[in-house]
Structure 1
Amino acid sequence: MLRRKSGTPDGNVFELVTPFAPAGDQPEAIRSLVDGITDGAISQVLMGATGSGKTFTMANVIAQTGRPTLVLSH
């Protein structure tokens, strides 16, 4: 679950609350997506099989960047 933080010194406004840590390919995907956002990428795509942790990966990206986010899924 992402929870809004108030007045944090690190500037991030979202906190990811979960007992799980990124595993498998997730850490690299998170790094790559965060780097893309930091570098000003206009759009990025995260593809993965059902149950591979795409939502969890994106929750980590949102928590790390603290940027407004629009998530579209089909």
Structure 2
Amino acid sequence: RGSFHVIENQMSAAVELFPIFARAHLLRTWGGIVDVTLDASPIVSKTEVDQLYINCGWGTGGFKGAPAAGLTYAHIPQP
């Protein structure tokens, strides 16, 4: 969860720029780790370990993209 004092400071700054935001009501907050690469491009690759592939760095798009990448790799022929 976000810290209330941080949200309060951010909203104060937003209200200075856009006074209409003073009417906004906070319903919920979320805080957590989002794995994303610096260039926002996911890493999907095989590794030096036989039959081990990595599929990471999708950020918030991973919920949609990671399963599609997994399905693609599932069809790679096995020795």
TM-score, reference length from structure 1: 0.27
**RCO (CA 8 Å, sep 6+): is it higher in 1 or 2?**
1
Kindly indicate which of the two structures has a greater share of residues assigned to helix: 2
TM-score, reference length from structure 2: 0.25
Structure possessing the higher radius of gyration over alpha carbons: 2
